[in-house]
Amino acid sequence: MIQSLREVPFGTDVDGVDDTDQEHGQHKGGVAALTIGAIGVVYGDIGTSPIYAVRESLRVVASDGLSRNEVLGVISVLVWTLVIIVTLKYVTVLLRADNRGEGGVLALYTLVRLALGRRSFWVLGLGIAGAALFFGDAIITPAISVLSAVEGAELIRPGLSEYVVPITVAILIALFMVQSRGTAAVSTAFGPITAIWFLVLAVTGVVHIVREPEVLFALDPRHAISFLVHAGPMAFVVLGAIFLAVTGAEALYADLGHFGKRPIRLAWFALVFPALVLNYLGQGALVLSRPDALEDPFFLLVSPHLLPFLVGLATIATVIASQAVITGAYSMTRGAIQLGFLPRLTIRHTSERQSGQIYIPSINWLLFFGVIALVLSFRSSSALAFAYGIAVTGTMIVTTVLTVVLALKGWNAKPWLVGVVVAPLLALELAFLASNLLKLPDGGYVPVTLAVVLGTVMWTWWRGVQLTLAREGKEKVDMDGFAHSIADSQRVLRARGTAFFFTSDPSAVPQALLHNLKHNQVLHDKNVILTIETLRMPHAAPDERVEYTPIDDHFARLRLRFGFMETPNLSRALGQARRLGLKFDVMSTSFFLGRRKVIIGQRHGLGRVLDRLFIGLSRFAADPSEFYSLPRDRVVELGSRITI
């Protein structure tokens, strides 16, 4: 059974409330509590960037010596990159592009689809590319974050260097092992701990700014421009390292649905942005006064007796950042499944209170093996830095292009205004991408290869689903005509009870019903044609969840609608259908599922390869009865063959 995607006209207010009311309705924890939560989840990744961003950026410049102007120039570029990409693009502009309160590249993709009002293959390609690149980032972030924090132990005792990788691997094993139990019990501590982390970043930075106030000149953007102009080809290479400072910015948008715009913006301006700027300035001040501190300017911000505390806190902060990325990968996967980009996968809820607390075993272990492989292969955060950035820059460019389309087609913004705002931003992001592409031979191929593989998988699945739907459409039997023709038939036996037949096209007779009638010559007294629709919005409103339409005394149609960020729970939705007139007794009810076996047709070349891949992927799809939370002892599966 293939889910259908129902389009809602762009701009339609399904809930009948404005964004502000909706946001307050969804987020009842209070602005202060949500702001603290956002600090831990939304900003965990970008908050760990100071551990390695300045070090890697200055190392490129220091290959032939390091001047004061170069230090000020690099720090200035770091600070203004935060201003332009994070503050202006994400916090100011992109947070406006919410799909019923939800954000992320898939939510943006659905908004653009609705704004265009038609299918666009290049928009589809951008949506798939953005999702695939996100997964590449999700594998690298835990590896580089935890590894960079544990490396601080080398400064405490140089002899510990040989234990850095084993300790990192042990931490990551523990992190992925606990995912199946959920993080609801400890996630409440993420915000306060990360808030302490940002306060430490700010304080350690201020201490060195006071000692070397000259570093404040880096706030002047002319230092950044001068460095980029006069550094020549080196500046282009440095951009790839400087971009490490904004990895994690995509989480600002992706976690919009969990916290809302106001808490995310408040957390950024009140704590996160000032703390990051002060720490980057502090590291610059330390290098100005002690050039030898370039070895590890972050951990050398504190005295030796405070170093164990900073290393421990950094390790905890990177674990929290990794958890946020892993959770984001689960949410992205669920959205991709609902939008038809991936086959059904087993999804488990780990919290009764929070729908976002989910666990996807297959994704968890794919991430685990990928992260461990990266740590064992690269063995240092400096080496991993070469693999970092390409996936992030790619995702950012995708969101920028989609936002341009949304602004022109959905917001009806003036083209000249969009051009003025976007042209410099897109030019900067393209420069970052080009700079990161220089890392391809030294590890940058890892996220690119992963994104290509995942993108191919998602495109193949989407293509296969469309071909299957088209083939079924050619063979369909009209449901209304069938119900009328069989109403008075004496050749069909009637079984007591109710039968639910799953189908993606409610206007056609489900194949399972035809097979049951053909082989068993029997129909139930009540037959419900059940269609599950995935809306192009994250959550379905209660009044649009269920639509029940009787056809005659023996047949009826039932539509159950879910948002693409929801996990369909039919048992719960059917309870709501009862209130609309659907009457059935669970003990005398059967759920009929059509199990299709796809056969390859006469296609040749690449099309045949993609067909084989689609068939292979279908074998990994989760059991529909489990995916839709059906009572196992009431499910009947009937097979059929279809040629694509």
Query: Does one domain contain both 607 and 578?
Result: yes
Query: Does one domain contain both 452 and 497?
Result: no
pLDDT at 331 over 70: yes
Please report whether residue 283 resides in a domain: yes
Token pair recorded at residue 117: 């009002």
Query: Does one domain contain both 86 and 167?
Result: yes
pLDDT at 226 over 80: yes
* Angle 135-141-146 from CA coordinates, rounded to 5°: 150
Please report whether residue 541 resides in a domain: yes
Q: Where a domain ends, among 415, 435, 463?
A: 463
Query: Does one domain contain both 60 and 196?
Result: yes
Q: Where a domain ends, among 396, 431, 463?
A: 463
- 147, β-bridge pairs: none
Quick one: how many helices (H) and strands (E) in the chain? 28, 9
Query: Does one domain contain both 456 and 563?
Result: no
Give CA–CA dist 263/256, Å, rounded: 9
Indicate which CATH number applies to the domain containing 349.
1.20.1740.10
pLDDT value of residue 1: 41
Least confident of 29-33, 52-56, 83-87, 415-419: 29-33
Give CA–CA dist 387/559, Å, rounded: 46
Structure letter (DSSP) for residue 542:
G
pLDDT at 18 over 80: no
Token pair recorded at residue 226: 């001068």
pLDDT value of residue 9: 29
Please report whether residue 326 resides in a domain: yes
Domain of residue 565 covers: 477-643
Query: Does one domain contain both 291 and 380?
Result: yes
Least confident of 27-36, 233-242, 512-521, 524-533: 27-36
Among candidate residues 383, 400, 396, the one with its CA nearest the CA of residue 243: 396
Query: Does one domain contain both 298 and 392?
Result: yes
pLDDT at 16 over 50: no
Query: Does one domain contain both 172 and 196?
Result: yes
The helix-helix angle for 390-409 and 445-474 (nearest 10°) equals 50
Query: Does one domain contain both 196 and 325?
Result: yes
Mean pLDDT of the chain: 85
Give CA–CA dist 535/61, Å, rounded: 50
- 641, β-bridge pairs: 597
Structure letter (DSSP) for residue 634:
G
| DSSP notation for 407-455 | HHHTS---HHHHHHHHHHHHHHHHHHHHHHHTTGGGTTHHHHHHHHHHH
Please report whether residue 468 resides in a domain: no
Please count the structural domains in the chain: 2
Please report whether residue 472 resides in a domain: no
pLDDT digits (tens, 9 = 90+) for 417-456: 989 888 888 988 998 888 888 888 888 888 888 889 999 9
- The answer to whether the Cα torsion of 266, 251, 88, 194 is positive or negative is positive
Task: Give the 3-state secondary structure of residue 271.
Answer: helix
Query: Does one domain contain both 297 and 355?
Result: yes
pLDDT digits (tens, 9 = 90+) for 553-595: 889 999 999 887 787 878 788 888 888 888 888 788 889 887 7
Query: Does one domain contain both 482 and 450?
Result: no
Pairing of strands 555-563, 589-599: unpaired
pLDDT value of residue 597: 78
Please report whether residue 143 resides in a domain: yes
Query: Does one domain contain both 316 and 398?
Result: yes
Please report whether residue 610 resides in a domain: yes
The rounded percent of the chain whose pLDDT value lies above 90 is: 36
Please report whether residue 345 resides in a domain: yes
Q: How many CB atoms lie within 10 A of CB 26?
A: 16
pLDDT digits (tens, 9 = 90+) for 174-217: 999 988 877 666 667 888 999 999 999 999 999 999 999 999 99
Compute the chain's Rg from CA coordinates: 27
Task: Give the 3-state secondary structure of residue 355.
Answer: coil
